[in-house]
Amino acid sequence: MPYLNQNNQRITELDGLRGMAIFATVIYHYTNNLINADASNYHLLLKSLTQFFYTCLDMFFILSGFLLGGILLRYKNSPNYFKAFYARRFFRIVPLYLFLLVSVLIICLFNIGRGTTWWFNPEIPYWAYFTFAQNIFMGIKNTLGNHWLIPTWSLGVEEQFYLIVSVLIFFTSRKYLVFILLLGMICSPVFRYYYVTSGSTAEAYPLSFSAFLHCRLDSLFGGILLAVIHQNAKAFNWVKQHHQILYLLVVIHIGITFLFSIGKWHIQIYWVYSWFGFIYMLILLLVLAHPNNVFARLSRIPFFVNLGLYSYSIYLFHELILGLFFFLIPKKLPQINSLLDLTMVVFCTVLTYFFARFVYLNFEKKFMAMGHSIKY
């Protein structure tokens, strides 16, 4: 789906931001998750430096809130407001997602991964994935479920978000909308704090307490708030005039984050998403407001722009490709313990990229065109 500015021109940089986010996500899953506690000091340092890369999903949430919130605000008075929104979301998300679910079902019918955490988890019924309710089961049952499908928890959050965002924007004036957005952003870490301190969620699965929609509103609502700012000339001009202050804030936060990563300072798990969400919001504002800062230049690198275009396919299938080839060739759980393991990971990385590129060009674009045939 194209990202449009106030002059209805595509903002290529937002594809680049999405590309950087998916790049960091794959690094986290393909390196951090595969390095065990007995690894060398070098590998443990790599594990430490990438330990917060999973928060790049919050950049996806922020971009989703910004993009969809901006579209809904722009077309609030359209006669096809709800029809066009949900039709486009359906064709963008559902066809490829159904292909993933069927693929995993076929893999499991061949007993690939049986007896491991990649197999079906009875606490998350398979029908839950078809109704985008898996994230709710993950939170309630405190389990990540079928490992092939772990990444899909965020799709559950997104789909539930779609159900409320169109109604929220349609029936709320901008004045009260800003208040609701700020309230949701404040309450979200409070909800996470409750789940951690109440003992209802084990520390071993930090994703569980953050898989609920109400625990991710700081990023989703933050994205909508940025869309409100972007469409308000006075507010956005202020951002442009003070972009250097925003840049300084980002640099300071990144520096502190480095101290968190190497263990010099500690950040509570329930604040992590708000901390990084704030950083990503500032980066998005900088990219929108000033074309020459380092983040804007990085987001225009063709490699990241292309990754952004293919990011949905990469996100859905990168774990499946990794697990499938590890179970078929070295016949073990994915883990980096040898040169062969490292070679496998590199191979899966390259294969995922070209698979996602093929899927985007031959399938995703066609379904997106179907969705965009329905006009606001």
Amino acid of residue 162: Y
Any domain includes 270: yes
CA distance linking residue 145 with residue 126, whole number of Å? 10
Domain count, the chain: 1
Residue bearing tokens 């680049």: 16
CA distance linking residue 54 with residue 25, whole number of Å? 6
Residue bearing tokens 């789909």: 159
CA distance linking residue 55 with residue 60, whole number of Å? 9
Residue bearing tokens 């917060």: 52
CA distance linking residue 42 with residue 28, whole number of Å? 16
Cα 170 to chain center, whole Å?
25
Q: Does the pLDDT at position 128 exceed 90?
A: yes
Measured between its terminal Cα atoms, the distance across the chain in Å is 14
Any domain includes 7: no
Any domain includes 345: yes
DSSP string, 206-257: HHHHT-SGGGSHHHHHHHHHHHHHHT-HHHHHHHHHTHHHHHHHHHHHHHHH
Amino acid of residue 30: Y
Domain coverage including residue 118: 12-372
CA distance linking residue 34 with residue 197, whole number of Å? 29
Q: Does the pLDDT at position 58 exceed 90?
A: yes
**pTM for this model (two decimals):** 0.93
CA distance linking residue 196 with residue 203, whole number of Å? 7
Cα 83 to chain center, whole Å?
25
Q: What value does the mean pLDDT of the chain take? A: 91
Any domain includes 19: yes
Residue bearing tokens 């294969």: 351
Helix axes 269-289, 12-30, angle to 10 degrees: 150
Confidence tier at 39 by pLDDT (50, 70, 90): low
Each residue's pLDDT tens digit, 88-123: 999 999 999 999 999 999 999 999 988 898 888 888
- pLDDT the model gives residue 199: 60
Residue bearing tokens 């919050």: 58
Each residue's pLDDT tens digit, 278-322: 999 999 999 999 988 999 999 999 999 999 999 999 999 999 999
- pLDDT the model gives residue 10: 65
DSSP string, 110-143: TTTTTTSTTS--TTS-HHHHHTT-HHHHHHHHT-
- pLDDT the model gives residue 90: 97
Bridge partners of residue 4, in order along the sequence: 10
Are the CB atoms for 15 and 308 separated by under 8 Å? yes
List Cβ neighbours of 57 (8 Å cut-off, separation of 6 or more). Answer: 21, 25, 154
Any domain includes 5: no
Any domain includes 242: yes
